[in-house]
Structure 1
Amino acid sequence: MRTEKRFILFFAAATAFCCVLCVFCSVLSLNRMRDNNNQAVIQLISNIRAHDNEITDVEIMQILNANANTLDTEKMLYSFGISKADWTVKISQTDSMTVIALSSVACLICGLSCLAFFARYRRHQLNKLNKLTNYLAKINRGDYDLALDNNSESDNSKLQNEIYKTTVTLRESAQRSAQSKEELKNALSDISHQLKTPLTSVIIMTENLLDNPDIPLELRQDFLRNIYRSSNHISFLVQSLLTLSKLDADSIVLKRHSEPLSEVFSDVAQSMAIPAELHRISLIFEDNGVLLQCDKKWLCEALFNIVKNCIEHTPEGGTVQMKAESNSLYTKITVSDNGQGIQKDDLPHIFERFYKGKNADDDSVGIGLALSKAIIEKSGGTVSVDSEIGIGSTFIIKIFHLEK
C-alpha cells in the first residue's frame, strides 16, 4: 500500500505538471499565432491598398471584421486579387482563453482517466493476490489439488502453478526425509541387533578365559574358536555395512575397464574354493569369451556374495554354475544352483537388507545379497532371481553396455 500511495502521488504531480506545461505551450503557441495573424493582416492591408488606392480604412475594417460566411469573404478578397493562401482568420482573445481552458481540461481528464484505470487495475491485481494467498494457505493445510480450470497463459496462473510444483516438491522432500530417518532408525536397530549377539558372545567367553586361568585346554580352544568365528562375523558385518553406506552416499567411484569374465569367474571361484570344498560343492563357470566394461573388484564382490549364498543353500554333492552371455544391449551373468530353493513368500524380499528367509542359516545376517544388488545397480545393471523349491535357484544379472 505504501508503494501504491507513492505511485498515486507521483502520478498526480506528473498530471499537474503536464497541465501546467500544456497551458504554457498553448499560450506560447497562441501568441505566435497571434503575431503571425497580425503580420498577415498587415500584409493583407498592403495588398488591398496596392490593388485599390481609393479604398478607405473603414472599408478595409469592414472586410477584416466581416461576419459573412467564408465563401462570401473569399469572393470579396478574390475581387481584390487576394487568394485564400494570402490571409488567415484572426483569433480573438476569447478564443485563445477557450483553447487554453480546453487543453487544460483535456489534459486533466486524461490524467484522471489514467489514474482511474490504474486504481481498477490495482484492485484487480489485489483480488488475484488474495486468491493466490488463499490458494497457498489451502496448500499449507494439506489440500494439494491443482485447480486445472484456472490454468491459462497469464502470469498469475503461471505463478500459481509454480507455487504448486514448489510446494509438492517440498512435500515430497519432507516425506523422503522422514522416510530416510525411519530407514536409518530401522537400520541402526538392525545393526545393533546383528552386532549384539556376537559381541556378547565374545565378551562372555573372554571373561571366562580371564576369570578362569585353570580352564581345561580343550574348552579354552573351543572358546578361542568361537571368539575367532564371532570376530570374523563382526568384521564381515561391519565391512558390509560400511560398503553399503558408501554406496548409499555415492562416495564409491567405479573404475570401468574391459575385463574378460573368465578372470572375474576365476577370482570368485578361488575365493570360494574352501567353502565349496567344505560343502563338497562343484563350482563350474562358463564365460564364453565375454568381455565386459566393469570394475573388476566390485563385480567380484557382488558375485562372491551371490555364490556364497548359493553354496550355503546347496546340499553336499551339489553344483553352482556361473555363466556369461552377451548381446548388443547387455551382458547377462547367471549364477545357478541345484539346492533347496527359495520360498515363494521370500522371493520379493530376498535382496532387502537384514532380511532372513525361512531357510536362512542361524549365522546369516541378511546383508550379502543386499550388498550385491547395490553394487550391480551402481554398475548400471539389474539383478533378479528365479527359484523352485527342491530344484534350485538362478540369479540373473544384466549389466547394460555403456553408450560409446
Structure 2
Amino acid sequence: MLKGKIILLVVISLLAMGAIAALLWQRWQFRQTMNRLLHMLDTAIDGNFKEESYDESLYSAIENKMRDYLSATETSNQDIAAEKDEIKQLIADISHQTKTPIANLLLYGQLLAEQELPEESRRFVGEMNKQGEKLNFLIAALVKLSRLETGILAVHPEKQSLQLMLEEVHGQLLPEAQRKNIQLQLEPTKEQAIFDPKWTAEAIANLVDNAIKYTPSGGEIQITVNAYELFCRIDIADTGIGFTENEQAKIFTRFYRSAQVAQIEGLGIGLYITRQIIAAQNGYMKVSSMPGQGSVFSVFLPRSN
C-alpha cells in the first residue's frame, strides 16, 4: 500500500516536472520567436530587411507570414523608390528639354518687338511674348509641383524669426501693389516659428500676389502675425472681391479658377502649391471670405517640434 502511494507520488512529481519543463520550453520558444519578430521589424524599419528561413513550427508559421509580409513591403518600397527615380529623371528631362526652346521663343519675340513693324504686327508680337511668358511660368510651376508631390524637393524647417521672411515678401510685392494703388501693410512681429524660409516665403508670396490680383485699386492688404501656444498664425487680409462659402473647399485644388475671375490672368495652381508647402512643414491653412467683402488667408506654422 505504502509502496503504491510512493510510486503514485513519484509519477505525479514527474508529471508536474514535465509540465513545468514543457511550460518553460514553450515560454523560451515564444520569447525566441518574439525576439526574431522584433529583429525582423527593426531591420525592416532600418531598410535592411533580408529573408531568412525558419522551421514550420506553430510559432514559425507566424514568423513566416511576417517574413512574407515584410518581403512584399520591401519589394513595394523598392518599386516606389525606382518609380520615384524615374519620375525625377522625367521631370529633369522635361525641365531641360523645354527650357531652351521657350527661352528662344521669348528672345525672338523681344527681338521682333524692337523692329519697326506695322501696328497690327506689333500687337501680335506682344501677344506672342505674353503667351510665351505664361508658358514659361506654367512649365516651371508644374515642374515645381511635381517635385513637391514626389518628395524630390524637401523643405528644411528650422526655428527662426518670421519678420525677416515677411519683410522679404513685402519688399518683393510692394511695387506691384503700388502700381495698382493698393496699400500693402506689414505689421512688425517678434514671433518665431519653425519653417523653411525659402519655401515659406514663396507660399506667403503666392497669397499676397493673389490678394493684389483680386483687390481693386484703392484697396488694402494687411499682413499680421498672432502667436498661440502651439502655432503662429500669419494672416493675409484683403479688401478684394472675395468668394462664396461653396468655393472655399475648391480653391486649394489644382487648376481651379472661379468663374468670376475668368477674365483675370492666372493658372489656378498657386494656392495648391502654397498648401503643399505649408503641409510639408506640419502646418495648415484656413480661409474666410465673403463675396465683395474681401478674404483672409491664415497660415499656421508650428512653434516647436
TM-score (norm 2): 0.61
Q: Give the length in aligned residue pairs.
A: 225
SS for the counterpart of 1:321 is strand
Matched, 1:256 2:150: no
What amino acid sits opposite 2:298 in the alignment?
I
What's the CA shift string for 1:233-275, capped at 9, x where partnerless?
A: 1222111111111111112232334432222222112221232
Matched, 1:383 2:285: yes
In structure 2, the residue matched to 1:293 is: 194
In structure 1, the residue matched to 2:271 is: 369
Shift of 1:155: 6.3
Matched, 1:342 2:280: no
State the alpha-carbon separation in 2 of the partners of residues 214 and 255 from structure 1: 51
Contact 1:354 1:366 (8 Å CA) reproduced: yes
Shift of 1:215: 4.2
In structure 2, the residue matched to 1:245 is: 146
Shift of 1:309: 1.1
Q: Is there any run of 5+ residues in structure 1 with no aligned partner, and where? A: 1-153, 178-183, 185-194
* Compared CA separation, residues 214 and 229, structure 1 to 2 (3 A): closer
| Greater length-normalized contact order (CA 8 Å, ≥ 6 residues apart) | 2
Q: How does 1:46-61 map to 2 (within 5 A)?
A: none
State the alpha-carbon separation in 1 of the partners of residues 116 and 212 from structure 2: 40
State the alpha-carbon separation in 1 of the partners of residues 266 and 168 from structure 2: 23
Contact 2:159 2:304 (8 Å CA) reproduced: no
State the alpha-carbon separation in 2 of the partners of residues 331 and 214 from structure 1: 55
Say which one has the larger Rg: 1
SS for the counterpart of 1:364 is coil
Matched, 1:280 2:181: yes
What amino acid sits opposite 1:234 in the alignment?
L
- The structure 2 residue matched to 1:221, chosen from 114, 118, 122, is 122
Structure 1 window deviating more from structure 2 (254-263 vs 386-395): it is 254-263
Contact 1:265 1:287 (8 Å CA) reproduced: no
SS for the counterpart of 1:394 is strand
State the alpha-carbon separation in 2 of the partners of residues 329 and 305 from structure 1: 24
What's the CA shift string for 1:146-201, capped at 9, x where partnerless?
A: xxxxxxxx869969x979x99xx9xxx9xxx9xxxxxx9xxxxxxxxxx9xxx9xx
Contact 2:193 2:302 (8 Å CA) reproduced: no
State the alpha-carbon separation in 1 of the partners of residues 129 and 59 from structure 2: 70
Contact 1:343 1:358 (8 Å CA) reproduced: no
Percent of residue pairs bearing the same amino acid type: 26
- The structure 2 residue matched to 1:392, chosen from 273, 294, 304, is 294
- The structure 1 residue matched to 2:203, chosen from 302, 311, 321, is 302
In structure 2, the residue matched to 1:52 is: none
Q: Is there any run of 5+ residues in structure 2 with no aligned partner, and where? A: 1-57, 81-86, 88-97
State the alpha-carbon separation in 2 of the partners of residues 321 and 156 from structure 1: 65
Matched, 1:311 2:219: no
What amino acid sits opposite 2:281 in the alignment?
S
Matched, 1:267 2:180: no
Shift of 1:345: 2.3
In structure 1, the residue matched to 2:253 is: 352
State the alpha-carbon separation in 1 of the partners of residues 259 and 244 from structure 2: 7
Contact 1:287 1:325 (8 Å CA) reproduced: no
Matched, 1:327 2:215: no
Q: How does 1:134-145 map to 2 (within 5 A)?
A: none
State the alpha-carbon separation in 1 of the partners of residues 116 and 226 from structure 2: 60
Contact 2:204 2:274 (8 Å CA) reproduced: yes
What amino acid sits opposite 2:271 in the alignment?
L
Q: How does 1:164-183 map to 2 (within 5 A)?
A: none
Structure 1 window deviating more from structure 2 (291-300 vs 381-390): it is 291-300
In structure 1, the residue matched to 2:42 is: none
SS for the counterpart of 1:272 is helix
Shift of 1:313: 1.3
State the alpha-carbon separation in 1 of the partners of residues 244 and 180 from structure 2: 22
State the alpha-carbon separation in 1 of the partners of residues 229 and 267 from structure 2: 38
State the alpha-carbon separation in 1 of the partners of residues 262 and 166 from structure 2: 25
Q: How does 1:26-37 map to 2 (within 5 A)?
A: none
